[in-house]
C-alpha cells in the first residue's frame, strides 16, 4: 500500500535524532516572493529619489551609474544578504514564517545561498518575445516532492515552515472534577495515548455529541486499565485523564488543602 500523503519532511541529524518539519509549498513561497518584490521596489524608489540630487547638481551620469549599480545589487544579492544575516530568511520569508535550510536541516551557508539565488534568474526566465516571462520555478516546484525550485535543487536546500510550537492552547473539554480526584498521579498512558488525548482536548468547534461519540471509542479501555467503572460521561473522563497527565500533583494539593499537612 502506498504511504499516506503528507507535506512534512523528516530529517535525521548526525546525532541520530529525527525531527519533522513542514515543507513550504508554492502558494506560501509566492506570497513571500511578492512581499520581497514590493520591498525591493520601495528600496529602489527611495534610493532613486535620493539619487535625484545628482541630476540637480548636474551630474546625471553619476546618478544613472549608481542607479544601475543599485539595480544590479538588488537583483543579485538582496536574497543572499538577507539569508546570511537572518539565518535563511528574507523579509518576505519572515512575514510568512519560512526559512531556507540545507537538505540535512542545518542552517544555509553563503555557498548555498549564493548558488540558489543566482539560479533564481532561471526560475523566472525573461523572454524577448510574448509571453515575455516564463515561470519555470513554480512548475519545477509543483513537480518536486519537496517543492524545491531549480535553485534549491542545485544548492541542496529546502524551504521549510518555521512556526513555533504553541504552548498553553485553549482546552475545549471540561474534565470531570469528581473523577479527577480518583485518578492516580501516575497514569498507565503511553505517548500514543497522550498525543491522541492532546488532540482531543484541544479540538475546538466540535459538537458535544460528537465529542462524546469519539470519547466512547477509548474510554472503556482506559477505565479498565485504571480499574474504574465505565464513566458516565466519556468526554469528561478523557478530560480528567489529560488534566491529570498534565498536572500529576493536582490530587495531592486538593486533598491537602483542608488540613494543610500533606504539603509539609
Residues in touch with another protein (CB under 8 A): 2, 4-7, 22-28, 31, 127, 129-131, 133-135, 142-143, 145, 147, 192-193, 195-196, 199-200, 203-207, 210-211, 214, 217-218, 221
Minimum distance of another protein from residue 12's CB (angstroms): 20
Q: Please identify, using beta-carbon distances, which residue of 15 and 166 lies nearer to another protein.
A: 166
Q: Please identify, using beta-carbon distances, which residue of 5 and 49 lies nearer to another protein.
A: 5
DSSP class of residue 185 equals S
Q: Please identify, using beta-carbon distances, which residue of 26 and 156 lies nearer to another protein.
A: 26
Minimum distance of another protein from residue 110's CB (angstroms): 29
Closest C-alpha among 79, 81, 98 to residue 31:
98
Alpha carbon distance 179, 214 (integer Å): 19
CB 70: neighbour CB atoms within 10 A?
15
Q: Please identify, using beta-carbon distances, which residue of 63 and 99 lies nearer to another protein.
A: 99
- What's the CA angle centered on 114, arms 113 and 120, to 5 degrees? 90
Minimum distance of another protein from residue 183's CB (angstroms): 18
β partners of residue 11 = 19
Alpha carbon distance 178, 104 (integer Å): 49
Minimum distance of another protein from residue 134's CB (angstroms): 6
Amino acid at each position: 500500500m502506498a504511504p499516506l500523503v503528507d507535506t512534512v519532511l523528516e530529517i535525521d541529524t548526525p546525532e541520530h535524532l529525527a525531527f519533522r518539519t513542514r515543507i513550504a509549498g508554492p502558494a506560501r513561497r509566492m506570497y513571500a516572493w511578492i512581499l520581497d518584490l514590493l520591498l525591493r521596489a520601495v528600496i529602489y524608489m527611495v534610493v532613486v529619489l535620493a539619487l535625484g540630487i545628482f541630476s540637480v547638481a548636474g551630474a546625471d551620469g553619476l546618478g544613472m551609474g549608481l542607479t544601475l549599480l543599485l539595480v544590479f545589487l538588488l537583483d543579485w544579492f538582496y536574497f543572499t544578504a538577507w539569508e546570511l544575516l537572518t539565518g535563511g530568511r528574507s523579509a518576505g520569508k519572515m512575514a510568512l514564517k519560512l526559512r531556507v535550510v540545507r537538505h540535512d536541516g542545518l542552517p544555509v551557508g553563503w555557498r548555498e545561498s549564493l548558488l540558489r539565488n543566482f539560479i533564481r534568474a532561471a526560475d523566472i526566465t525573461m523572454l524577448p518575445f510574448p509571453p515575455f516571462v516564463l515561470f519555470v520555478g513554480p512548475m519545477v516546484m509543483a513537480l518536486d516532492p519537496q517543492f524545491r525550485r531549480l535553485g534549491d535543487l542545485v544548492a541542496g536546500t529546502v524551504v521549510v515552515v518555521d512556526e513555533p510550537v504553541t504552548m498553553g492552547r485553549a482546552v475545549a473539554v471540561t474534565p470531570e472534577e469528581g473523577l479527577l480526584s480518583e485518578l492516580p498521579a501516575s497514569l498507565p498512558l503511553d505517548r500514543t495515548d497522550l498525543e491522541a488525548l492532546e488532540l482531543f482536548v484541544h479540538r475546538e468547534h466540535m459538537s458535544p455529541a460528537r465529542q462524546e461519540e469519539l470519547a466512547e471509542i477509548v474510554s472503556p479501555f482506559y477505565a479498565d486499565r485504571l480499574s474504574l467503572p465505565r464513566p458516565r460521561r466519556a468526554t469528561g473522563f478523557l478530560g480528567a485523564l489529560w488534566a491529570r497527565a498534565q498536572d500529576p500533583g493536582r490530587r495531592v494539593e486538593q486533598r491537602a488543602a483542608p488540613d494543610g499537612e500533606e504539603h509539609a
